[in-house]
Amino acid sequence: MSGKFIVLTGGVGGAKLVLGLSQLVPPKQLTAIVNTGDDFEHLGLAISPDIDTLLYTLSGKANAEQGWGRAAESWAFMTALRELGGEDWFQLGDGDLALHVLRTMRLRAGDSLSKICADFARAWEIGAAILPMSDERVATIVTTDEGDLPFQHYFVARRCEPKVRAVRFEGAATAKAALGAVDAILHPEVEAILIAPSNPYLSVDPILAVPEIRSALERATAPVVAVSPIVGGKAVKGPTAKLMAELGIEISPASVAAHYEGLIDAMLVDIRDGQVALGIKTRSADTLMVTLEDRVRVAAEALALARDLRG
């Protein structure tokens, strides 16, 4: 394949698909546009979880079982922090800390998040382009029955327990797409644009809330294929299914297809969800990603669906 491939991704599930794609597509032809709505400042440090999860995953440094953070991590910092009474609800490993310290220092020096990402990717010999959705601050705020919670407070501190009433992305409406993101989506050699099986409402929506990205997707001539995050009528892990239930949305691929209406041309649906009539082209496959082979299989199925659309 000589073409280019774009994937919109957030969270752990998204990183799995990107890893699968990176085994099939020459890395230089792969661009990931990553959610930054989960980003927050913690202990004075700029944390970008979905970018870091992708950096770790594509460089082979990820803690695969946990999904986020580094493998073989040490926790001296957290131990010392706890002794001093510092906030310890958000686990920062010693190795992980280097990313946050360097990123914070460089952001304060005026470097853009996308430049910092590109330098980290290069340092870890990641060939794929890792682009934040925007270089400007966008914050996912979850409105719950306990009030508004910044994303990490909902996801980690409260373990997704509060009932969700709404989700919003502060700053998204005026945020410009990161340099290169729109051009990547609209590039004439793009063969497929994939939406990873990330949480549509928490991890993909912030990306789609950046006006230039949504309009680029609407204008793109390349096929846009979403991988369903639902497996057998429920979500694999994380709060997707609980969130959908709380938002009164039926937990099904059809709901996700409707959510992406007008943006996607097709959806890869899990074989356990049977044949679903979504009004768009679908392909059925085992989309559960446990092993590396699974990740490659799902990526291959999604690319095959895009190829079918190109005819």
**CB contact at 8 A, 130 and 32:** yes
Taking CB under 6 A as the rule, does residue 91 contact ligand FO1? Answer: yes
Q: Indicate the residue among 20 and 69 with the shorter CB distance to ligand FO1.
A: 69
What is the CA 25 to chain-centroid distance, rounded?
19
Taking CB under 6 A as the rule, does residue 57 contact ligand FO1? Answer: no
Smallest distance from ligand FO1 to CB 222, Å:
26
Q: Report the 10 Å Cβ neighbour count for 100.
A: 19
**Which residues on neighbouring strands pair with residue 142, listed in sequence order?**
149, 167
Q: Indicate the residue among 116 and 190 with the shorter CB distance to ligand FO1.
A: 116
- Kindly write out the interface string for residues 11-30 of this chain, putting x where it contacts ligand FO1 by CB under 6 A and - elsewhere: xx------------------
Adjacency order of strands within the sheet including 147-150 = 147-150, 139-144, 164-170
Handedness of CA 279, 283, 285, 289 (dihedral sign): negative
From 48-56, 120-128, 228-236, 266-274, span contacting ligand FO1 (CB under 6 A): 48-56
- Kindly write out the interface string for residues 60-79 of this chain, putting x where it contacts ligand FO1 by CB under 6 A and - elsewhere: --------xx----------
- What does DSSP assign to residue 162? S
**Which residues on neighbouring strands pair with residue 218, listed in sequence order?**
none
Task: Tell me the two tokens of residue 128.
Answer: 């794929």
Handedness of CA 42, 44, 50, 56 (dihedral sign): negative
Residues 144-173, interacting with ligand FO1 (CB under 6 A): 152, 155-156
Smallest distance from ligand FO1 to CB 53, Å:
5
Q: Indicate the residue among 11 and 253 with the shorter CB distance to ligand FO1.
A: 11
Residue ranges binding ligand FO1 (CB under 6 A):
11-12, 38, 49-50, 52-53, 68-69, 90-92, 96, 152, 155-156
